[in-house]
Amino acid sequence: MITIIMSIGFSVDYSAHITYGYVISAESTPEKRVKTALGALGWPVTQGAMSTILAVVVLADVPAYMIVTFFKTVFLSIALGLLHGLVFLPVMLSLFVGGSCILLSPEDKVGA
């Protein structure tokens, strides 16, 4: 059960960072917003995924079925979450979220 909860957190993390970068971008078109988000957050998200994989890769050689299953689950959730965050999500954002790109002046933004 803990493995599933951790995997959900890992898979959502990468997509959430890219989406946040897209939302706060000041660019006018969805394509430029995606480029800005990936330019600012693509490498840090990849570094985070790689460091997490390096942290759990030591579990791959443990001769216990439960530990190896944990490693496989976490590894696959990180790899698929990274794939979705860096490939599928930017494409979906640029294709389907085009109408919501409205630039606000600094005084119109909430909390400004």
Q: Mind listing the pLDDT tens digit for each residue in 48-80?
A: 999 999 999 999 999 999 999 999 999 999 999
Sequence-ordered list of residues with C-beta below 8 angstroms from that of 95, at least 6 positions apart, any chain? 30
Q: Mean pLDDT over residues 37-50, rounded? A: 96
Within 13 Å of residue 32, how many CA atoms lie on the same side as its CB?
7
Share of the chain above pLDDT 90, in %: 70
What pLDDT does residue 13 have? 92
41 in Cβ contact with 112 (< 8 Å): no
pTM reported for the whole predicted model:
0.81
Domain ranges of the chain: 17-98
